Amino acid sequence: MTGSYPATRLRRTRASVWSRALHRETMLTPADLIWPLFVTEGAGVEEPIGSLPGVSRWSVDLIAHRAKEAVALGIPCLALFPNTPGELRSADGREALNPDNLMCRAIRAIKDACGEQIGVLTDVALDPYTSHGQDGLVDAAGYVLNDETVEVLVGQSLNQAAAGADVIAPSDMMDGRIGAIREALEGAGHVNVQIMSYAAKYASAFYGPFRDAVGSRGLLKGDKKTYQMDPANSDEALREVELDLLEGADSVMVKPGLPYLDIILKVKETFGVPVFAYQVSGEYAMIEAAVAAGAGERDALVLETLTAFKRAGCSGVLTYHAAHAARLLNG
């Protein structure tokens, strides 16, 4: 206290519940959450995912129930990922272009059930459809071809938009795909279909359980380092974001989430655009493992991590804990 009068005591405003509520700088609400859901074939099917305890794949009919649950919880948007049956996976991922593929059927089921009450965000990348598990077309040496892949991603985006997707979310990290997809959407009259670009997506070790969920882990040969970003880089993330914005992205994503809060903050401060974080499967699994080990308390871990994303500048967060968090926030 030396030399300061009146005494500055930062603990004063923390001393009571009402005062902490009054001084809280960051608010987390269910409206900040995007709930990723995995879709699988069949009817009445729920398949738990071993490496993602508490998360399941749902058949299309049950996906519609999840959508209604999300609406009731105040969650504004769902993110869909298909577990394509093995026999429909091919080197060129052509099932991504099938207007009756799992993804398109799930989009239609949600829109039939909930209409404008919920947004549907769809992943654009070929990994759930390829027999090699890469996000694009590969040459003889296994290199993921950029421009050839972008052509397929454009077709995949148009296919999803025609089925009723509200937000196209390219997660493939090919160069130039945002511009190509935007132009094609405009040309097809989908002027109000948004693009949320996975702009700064890192070649991360945190995606393992997701690859189990979409059935690509066992198929994947090698890694994704020739297209996803080096975790050591941040200037490059800003260039990725800048290009995607110039090409027409409405919002951008940083992925994974918690290990990349510095990137989120930089993107927000540099561009002042809507930024989203993906708290990915490995992050979810880490929290669940901590809970199972008695090392932490789920509700507190979930709310603290999600609040951190908002504090760093996020408009919202994709999280597998979305429904649980919304329940907690709704009291």
Binding site for ligand PBG (CB under 6 A): 123, 125, 127, 135, 171-172, 207, 210-211, 224, 280-281
Of 30 and 82, CB closest to ligand PBG: 82
Name 255's Cβ contacts closer than 8 Å, sequence gap at least 6. Answer: 171, 198, 200, 201, 202, 204, 277, 278, 280
Q: Which residue is nearest to ligand PBG (CB)?
A: 210
- Cβ 211 to ligand PBG, closest distance in Å? 6
- Cβ 154 to ligand PBG, closest distance in Å? 16
Of 111 and 224, CB closest to ligand PBG: 224
Of 4 and 47, CB closest to ligand PBG: 47
Q: How many other β-carbons are positioned within 10 Å of the β-carbon of residue 191?
A: 9
User: Of the residues 111, 201, 266, 310, which is catalytic?
Assistant: 201
- Backbone phi and psi for residue 178, each to the nearest 5 degrees, phi listed first: -65, -45
From first CA to last CA, the distance across the chain in angstroms is 40
User: Of the residues 111, 224, 255, 268, which is catalytic?
Assistant: 255
Q: Is 225 marked active-site?
A: no
In Å, the largest CA–CA distance within the chain is 75
Of 123 and 166, CB closest to ligand PBG: 123
Q: How far apart are CA 196 and CA 238, in angstroms?
A: 16
- Backbone phi and psi for residue 145, each to the nearest 5 degrees, phi listed first: -75, 130
Q: How far apart are CA 99 and CA 261, in angstroms?
A: 37
- Cβ 35 to ligand PBG, closest distance in Å? 12
- Cβ 61 to ligand PBG, closest distance in Å? 24
* Residue numbers annotated as active site: 201, 255
